[in-house]
Amino acid sequence: MNRYPSQFDEIQNQIIECHRQGLPPPEDIEILQEWLMSDGWDHALAAWDDEAVVLNLAELAKDCFTDQCMTAEDWLPAPGQDLNAHRANFAREWIQNAITSGAGEHSLSVHSCPICHSNGDQLILGLTVEIQGHSPEPTWHGMFSDKGAFYQHLKSLGHVFHRDISSLSDQEILRLWKE
């Protein structure tokens, strides 16, 4: 488990106590988050060792899964071609491009930053970071009992892990389509 400097011990205790009681995180959580995004960046990145990248599919769909976008990209269906199959193929091209580029607002690195109470209890702070070269854009998602709870939260936001993209059905993609 990743340990932070002792100056953060009390904040970690407060975070876990709030989570245990079902309360919002303490205001001091921002002190730890700010440290993780600056001097503690190596600690935040160390939490990425066994994690993955997600595609913000909901945002990609909002931006690109439209008939207007398909027309603008000259992706017009051939006469007699099934329109929904064509839409799904177009969307899969956008998905593949977003994954291949691995950067920008649609691909986010996933970080589970460990929090340890002095009594041994543990939880994580969920963090995603837009991959923008040397200018990362962090988004804190809150306190979670474990990675599974954090990952479920990300899925509820319309994020799909890159490793799961191939299992997306055409129907799942088309539900996101805007005509």
151-176 CB burial, b ≥16 within 10 A, e <16: beebeeebbbbbeebeebeeeebeeb
Range 78-84 contact pairs with CB under 8 angstroms and sequence separation of 24 or more: 84/170, 84/174
Q: Name the residue ranges covered by the structural domains of the chain.
A: 6-54+106-168, 58-102
Return the SS3 of 104.
strand
Q: Which of 126, 133, 130 is nearest to 108 (CA)?
A: 130
- For the chain, give the number of residues: 179
- Judge whether 113 and 44 are in contact, CB under 8 Å: yes
What are the pLDDT digits (tens) for 26-83? 999 999 999 998 888 887 776 555 668 899 999 999 989 999 999 998 888 888 889 9
Cα(138)–Cα(37) distance, integer angstroms = 8
In Å, how far from its chain's centre is CA 29?
A: 20
**What pLDDT is attached to residue 2?**
47
Taking 70 as the threshold, does the pLDDT of residue 1 lie above it? no
**What pLDDT is attached to residue 47?**
54
DSSP 105: E
Place of tokens 């929904």: 84
What are the pLDDT digits (tens) for 116-156? 999 999 999 999 988 766 677 789 999 999 999 999 999 99
